[in-house]
């Protein structure tokens, strides 16, 4: 059986860049198959499924929840793009 990959900030950033190319990336989840909305079932793709939300929330400096739900669509997208740039992923 193939070992599950670990979800890291680098993986998160790479998947965010792909997700942001979508027509409407808000409420999509970079850790999900095909960037679908968050479901616990698809988090089983990753070895550290219990850390995925923490990695995402820490990336955009929020304490809980999904960025678009907490910050609103425009703020979440702006903060995500800024974080990608500041962390050197763009």
**Residue 13 host element (H or E):** helix 9-19
d(CA 31, CA 49): 9
Domain ranges for the chain: 9-86
> For residues 6 and 80, is the Cβ–Cβ distance under 8 A?
no
Query: Per-residue pLDDT for the chain (90 aa), expressed as one digit of tens each?
Result: 789 999 999 999 999 999 999 988 988 999 998 898 876 677 888 999 999 999 999 999 999 999 999 999 999 999 999 999 999 998
d(CA 90, CA 1): 34
CA angle 61, 65, 69 (to 5 degrees): 95
Q: How many CA atoms lie within 13 A of 35 on its CB side?
A: 17
């Amino acid at each position: 059986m193939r070992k599950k990959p670990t979800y890291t900030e680098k993986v998160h950033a790479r998947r965010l860049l792909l997700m942001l190319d979508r027509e409407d990336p808000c409420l999509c989840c970079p850790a999900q198959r095909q960037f679908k909305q968050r479901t616990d079932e698809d988090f089983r793709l990753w070895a550290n499924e219990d850390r995925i939300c923490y990695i995402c929330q820490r990336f955009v400096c929020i304490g809980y929840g999904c960025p678009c739900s907490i910050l609103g669509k425009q703020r979440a997208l702006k903060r995500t793009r800024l974080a990608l740039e500041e962390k050197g992923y763009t």
